[in-house]
Chain A
Amino acid sequence: DAMVIQNPRYQVTQFGKPVTLSCSQTLNHNVMYWYQQKSSQAPKLLFHYYDKDFNNEADTPDNFQSRRPNTSFCFLDIRSPGLGDAAMYLCATSRDSPGDGYTFGSGTRLTVV
Chain B
Amino acid sequence: AQTVTQSQPEMSVQEAETVTLSCTYDTSESDYYLFWYKQPPSRQMILVIRQEAYKQQNATENRFSVNFQKAAKSFSLKISDSQLGDAAMYFCAYRRSNQFYFGTGTSLTVIP
Using a CB-CB cutoff of 8 Å, which residues 34-56 of chain A contact chain B? 40-43, 45, 48, 50, 55
B100 and A45 contacting across the interface, CB-CB below 8 Å: yes
> What separation, in Å, do the CA atoms of A90 and B43 have in the docked complex?
11
> What separation, in Å, do the CA atoms of A59 and B45 have in the docked complex?
24
Q: How many A-B residue pairs have CB under 8 A?
A: 50
Query: Which residues from chain A contact B78 at a C-beta distance below 8 Å?
Result: none
Minimum CB distance partner of A106 in chain B:
B44
A48 and B46 contacting across the interface, CB-CB below 8 Å: no
One digit per residue, 1 when the CB lies within 8 angstroms of any chain A CB and 0 when it does not, for chain B 35-48 equals 10100000111110
Query: Which residues from chain B contact A94 at a C-beta distance below 8 Å?
Result: 98
Other-chain contact of A98, B43, B45, B89, B96 (Cβ < 8 Å): B96
B105 and A42 contacting across the interface, CB-CB below 8 Å: yes
The yes or no answer to B15 lying at the interface (CB within 8 A) is: no
Distance from A87 Cβ to chain B, minimum over Cβ atoms (Å): 14
One digit per residue, 1 when the CB lies within 8 angstroms of any chain A CB and 0 when it does not, for chain B 84-112 equals 00000101010111111011110100000
The yes or no answer to A107 lying at the interface (CB within 8 A) is: yes
B44 and A104 contacting across the interface, CB-CB below 8 Å: yes
> What separation, in Å, do the CA atoms of A63 and B103 have in the docked complex?
25
A41 and B98 contacting across the interface, CB-CB below 8 Å: no
